[in-house]
Amino acid sequence: MKIRSDVYRNIPYTLSLADGKDWGEMRNHFYTDSCFGCQHDLTLDRTIELFQQEVDDFLSRIPSTEEEWLDMFSDCVIQDGYEDWHIDPILAMHLLKLYAKVNG
């Protein structure tokens, strides 16, 4: 059940409650759905905190090697549906700006 949609540091996310039988162990957990996947917990505040920590960790990383840059760009590839994938434009733009700043 969707509770609300919001934005944190320019990253949109949806906050929901897993309320159906088919959720298994995650039933009655709150979860966020975003380009960072699904973070979940039994409390609303902790779920939001987990999502924000994931965003903060990603945005604070400054790669120094080509491998680290490629690793971060691979984090921008998001699964959308069963076999559909796309590059998240917000994350990719962040990395492009960071790359220009670091190497400019």
Q: Which range marks the domain in which residue 44 is found?
A: 2-58
The segments of the chain whose pLDDT lies below 50 read none
d(CA 44, CA 25) in angstroms, rounded, equals 17
What pLDDT is recorded for position 8?
A: 93
Q: Give pTM, 2 decimals.
A: 0.77
If asked whether residues 65 and 99 sit together in one domain, one would say yes
If asked whether residues 69 and 97 sit together in one domain, one would say yes
What pLDDT is recorded for position 78?
A: 84
What pLDDT is recorded for position 23?
A: 79
What pLDDT is recorded for position 84?
A: 85
What pLDDT is recorded for position 33?
A: 85
Secondary structure letter of residue 15 according to DSSP: E
Taking residue 4's Cβ as centre, other Cβ atoms within 10 Å add up to 8
Mean pLDDT of the chain: 88
> What are the start-end ranges of the H helices in the chain?
44-60, 66-74, 89-103
If asked whether residues 9 and 52 sit together in one domain, one would say yes
If asked whether residues 52 and 37 sit together in one domain, one would say yes
d(CA 63, CA 79) in angstroms, rounded, equals 23
If asked whether residues 36 and 10 sit together in one domain, one would say yes
